[in-house]
Amino acid sequence: MGTLLDLPLDEVLCGDSLEVLRRLPPASVHAIFADPPYNLQLKGTLRRPDDSLVDGVDDEWDRFADLPTYDAFTRAWLTECRRVLRRDGTIWVMGAYHNVFRLGAALQDMGFWILNDVIWRKANPMPNFRGRRFTNAHETLVWAARDPASKYRFNYQAMKTLNDDTQMRSDWYIPLCTGHERLRDAAGDKLHPTQKPEALLHRVILASTNAGEIILDPFLGTGTTAAVARRMGRRFIGIERDPGYAAAARARIAAVVPLPESAALALPSKREQPRLAFGVLVERGLVPPGSRLSDRQRRWSAEVGVDGTLRCGTATGSIHSVGAAVQEAPSCNGWTFWHVETSGGGLRVLDAYREEALAAQA
């Protein structure tokens, strides 16, 4: 073990996370953001339906022999993080179903106090190409205080402002890191397989630190945490093992122009437009399975199935496709074409039920 470092602020420390963490002084940082390897353990190759190859994470740093090995790794770096964290500090740890249950359980076992689990809902996730599972459309962040007695920081009002003056919820809708934000090499290939969106770190840092405070990232990668921290007037400590990633991070951080202090305010969040599937009306019993639907002239009548399928003679499918089929039209808006046979013997257009449901959840 090397000598204890003075607190190395606003630097990217290149080296093994655990070794570097051990050299940092205790109780010295206000917050930690950690995006550790996920232990994906992918087997073969995966192709899209058009036969193109999916470029998965097959890097050496993500390979662990088994779950106990991964747990030992997790507990080792979390132990050092807890030592380095100030008494009132909080930690964010991020993962997916492969590893996040190990992370959360380790945090609890080690005496951290979970404050929230937060869901990053991806606006544009990769689909499930083989149709064998649900689209893996989110990742999980666990937010925890150093211990139950921590007087932790939570910038409640900033979060509320960021969310159009409504309390920030535990589910965050944020796009993947693509486009200009995604770092690429000379050949145009992504520099890092799992670069996180700056919007995610913006929210994390805004919620749990104040300007001038120190945030540590033990798995810095290409520097998202540090870049956002610098822009928002926070101090950072980044640790990254791969010299190539560390160099890219340094260049990226150097290019960041810190915001003027007055601008350290909230950016408006991208609002999500409400969308409602017909199946949801079925699920919720607003248009129960077994209901009869007709067109306005009652030329056709169809039955609603448990999954929101419509059956009309031999035609089966969505409200749109069955509407198109019976009319022998190329397409059809099922919401306005189909009507529910009401108990009073009348017809009520499907779209009215949708509007009702949307209004109820707004």
Site for its own copies in 267-326 (CB under 8 A): 267, 269, 277-280, 282-285, 289-290, 303-309, 311, 314, 316-318, 320-321
State the binding partner of 343 from DNA, its own copies, none, CB within 5 to 8 A by kind.
none
| Shortest CB 8 distance to its own copies, Å | 25
123 binds its own copies (CB under 8 A): yes
| Shortest CB 187 distance to its own copies, Å | 24
9 binds its own copies (CB under 8 A): no
| Shortest CB 305 distance to DNA, Å | 14
Among the listed ranges 139-147, 187-195, 248-256, 343-351, the one in contact with its own copies (CB under 8 A) is: 139-147
State the binding partner of 304 from its own copies, DNA, none, CB within 5 to 8 A by kind.
its own copies
Q: What is the C-alpha separation between 45 and 41, in angstroms, rounded?
A: 12
| Shortest CB 149 distance to DNA, Å | 7
Among the listed ranges 2-10, 16-24, 80-88, 260-268, the one in contact with its own copies (CB under 8 A) is: 260-268
Eight-class DSSP state of 182: S
Q: Which of 48, 87, 331, 352: binder of its own copies (CB under 8 A)?
A: 331
Q: What is the C-alpha separation between 352 and 289, in angstroms, rounded?
A: 18
60 binds its own copies (CB under 8 A): no
- Specify the residue, 9 or 352, whose C-beta has the smaller distance to DNA: 352
142 binds its own copies (CB under 8 A): yes
- Distance separating the N- and C-terminal Cα atoms of the chain: 57
**Residue 14 vs residues 20, 34, 148, 252, 255: alpha-carbon distances, Å:** 8, 16, 33, 15, 19
37 binds its own copies (CB under 8 A): no
Among the listed ranges 16-24, 100-108, 187-195, 338-346, the one in contact with its own copies (CB under 8 A) is: 100-108
| Shortest CB 300 distance to DNA, Å | 16
Quick check: helix, strand or coil at residue 204? helix
Mention every residue, 6+ apart, whose C-beta is less than 8 A from residue 165.
Answer: none
Q: Strand 235-240 relative to strand 85-95: parallel, antiparallel, unpaired?
A: unpaired
**Residue 301 vs residues 64, 198, 297: alpha-carbon distances, Å:** 57, 51, 10
- Specify the residue, 162 or 239, whose C-beta has the smaller distance to its own copies: 162
- Specify the residue, 1 or 134, whose C-beta has the smaller distance to DNA: 134
State the binding partner of 308 from its own copies, DNA, none, CB within 5 to 8 A by kind.
its own copies
163 binds its own copies (CB under 8 A): yes
Q: For residue 281, which of 289, 272, 273 has the smallest C-alpha distance?
A: 289
Eight-class DSSP state of 164: T
Q: What is the C-alpha separation between 85 and 52, in angstroms, rounded?
A: 45
Quick check: helix, strand or coil at residue 7? coil
**Residue 259 vs residues 202, 234, 237, 256, 266: alpha-carbon distances, Å:** 13, 10, 19, 9, 12
Q: What is the C-alpha separation between 300 and 201, in angstroms, rounded?
A: 53
- Specify the residue, 149 or 211, whose C-beta has the smaller distance to DNA: 149
Q: Which of 16, 55, 164, 185: binder of its own copies (CB under 8 A)?
A: 164
